Structure 1
């Protein structure tokens, strides 16, 4: 690995991401490079595909919910090219590893939870989908659906201030500021583990 290219990349990323020290940024770049397993490419052109990224979420952070892992991938992949580049990696981890501000964590979790990507709100159907995925299966599918429907209604009562069956970011933000435990109501998308170099 070219040390000059690495130093330049650390400097460039450190200018925009203040939540990591330069040594931590370097560590994350090296980890990224090792995960990408493309030593012959320039560092700034390497990308993690979805499968590699999902493996990282599972092995380093213990996340096992496939739907949630896919949503975290899309929240990291800001340019929507189906690869996580080194800038997206470090920026995403700055929030993901709990270094971000509360507002950054709010925005990140909201991006993970709203599945339609472009509509800007979490719908009743998306809430059902996310909550259904996170529940352990009781004796029957019908009982599971009923339990999930009940949780959806409780969630909407807590978070849907205008009672339209949708949770826009403003409602999500207000509800979470009133009760911080609601930040991960649809699944734990912010890990407790820290990456060690």
Structure 2
């Protein structure tokens, strides 16, 4: 391990004591090749700092501290879930978690395979170890998703539970077993956390890594570009940079970093390219921003860049990233609805909704798929068509999302996770 101070908030003696205490564990765990030695050190540092708060004689993290870590850093808000994760991590203890068990559960949470995360999530959703999830348990979880009169909430909850059961109860025995759940998630991984959040998203993971990592010295610009390329970059974008400083919500270094990213993408689009090619932006959106909703990439590009069928201008690129990063809720609503309204009619019809859902829902058979799509479209129309005129207008959508903000991207993710943007905007 390195000899530099691991944490500047601890003195030399404390850093030395930390390394002596955890040296063997760091070396042994690093052999599993889930985390590097430095990453293992940093995770144990997070653990160690919680332990220090418990007094000199205490050597273990408490159950409450573990729950607070998942609540505050990983945005797992349900205390029942954090308790279940604790029990899954260290079944032999009710009050404390060992550093070994802590590293094991963090390896699943942060770097786990799909199979490992399937096993963990099901244990969280089935904390008593029954081996299955019932309709009544799902109703308890989903009841808080909806607002309105009690009768309407109960109806929507029951409809949603039935839709989930038709999707996940493969053997039709009236309960969702581990095998039902695992088979469904392997075919459709986005259903991994279908009951509720018990794993951090990639953005949250990135923010956590920033808090508990050794800061590296970074160059202001980009060391992969030579002096001539830097000069050319400044010549091309000087005017736009100055304008963005006056009119945008970005900091100066954020503007420079984003425009460098744009410039490098435009270089990859070809010498004669008049901007970033749509295919290049599409790859950037999927790979670097972590948005896997391939069905919405073309409508999104058409929405942000109406002036060209081949290229994304730097102005359009900066405008949409500003909205993603700093946009108000009202701005985000207009953006999402504008993309979902593929035909630019000002409303979404039942048929348009059906076409969108056809790309999202898959059943065991063609008939099963058709049935699930019809049920889901009916469910969405009941939820969103506020004035009951057979279509979803922006006003319908806006009122519904104001009441239930997590329905903002109800047809698929359009806005990248903040952590992915932080990676790009980080100084």
The verdict on a shared fold, with TM-score over 0.5 as the criterion, is yes
Shift in alpha-carbon separation, 1:69–1:91, aligned structure 2, 3 A: same
Offset, 1:148: 1.8
Distance 2:93 2:170 in 1: 31
Distance 1:156 1:120 in 2: 16
Matches within 5 A, 1:66-105: 66-97=79-110, 99-105=111-117
Match of 1:122 in 2: 133
Contact 2:169 2:176 in 1 (8 A): yes
Distance 1:39 1:26 in 2: 21
Q: Which has the higher contact order (CA 8 A, sep 6+)?
A: 1
User: Does residue 1:9 correspond to 2:25, yes or no?
Assistant: yes
Contact 2:185 2:191 in 1 (8 A): yes
Contact 2:74 2:199 in 1 (8 A): no
Match of 2:249 in 1: none
User: Does residue 1:178 correspond to 2:187, yes or no?
Assistant: yes
Shift in alpha-carbon separation, 1:111–1:18, aligned structure 2, 3 A: farther
Match of 1:46 in 2: 59
Distance 1:109 1:166 in 2: 17
The gaps in structure 2 that reach 5 residues or longer are 1-16, 213-427
The gaps in structure 1 that reach 5 residues or longer are none
Larger Rg: 2
RMSD: 2.1
SS at match of 2:133: strand
SS at match of 1:18: coil
Contact 2:169 2:180 in 1 (8 A): yes
Offset, 1:85: 1.6
Q: When the two structures are superposed, what TM-score results if normalisation uses the length of structure 1? A: 0.85
User: Does residue 1:34 correspond to 2:27, yes or no?
Assistant: no
Distance 2:18 2:51 in 1: 16
Contact 1:46 1:86 in 2 (8 A): no
Judge which range, 77-86 or 162-171, deviates more: 77-86
Shift in alpha-carbon separation, 1:168–1:95, aligned structure 2, 3 A: same
Query: Residues 85-123 of structure 1, C-alpha deviation per residue, up to 9 Å, x if partnerless?
Result: 2111111111112x111111111111111132x222222
SS at match of 1:184: coil
User: Does residue 1:111 correspond to 2:127, yes or no?
Assistant: no
Distance 1:14 1:147 in 2: 48
Distance 2:130 2:122 in 1: 12
SS at match of 2:192: helix
* Correspondent of 2:143 among 109, 132, 153: 132
Shift in alpha-carbon separation, 1:82–1:158, aligned structure 2, 3 A: farther
Judge which range, 119-128 or 61-70, deviates more: 61-70
Offset, 1:139: 2.0
Q: When the two structures are superposed, what TM-score results if normalisation uses the length of structure 2? A: 0.41
Offset, 1:78: 3.0
SS at match of 1:188: coil
Distance 1:77 1:103 in 2: 19
* Correspondent of 1:166 among 175, 180, 183: 175
Distance 1:124 1:47 in 2: 38
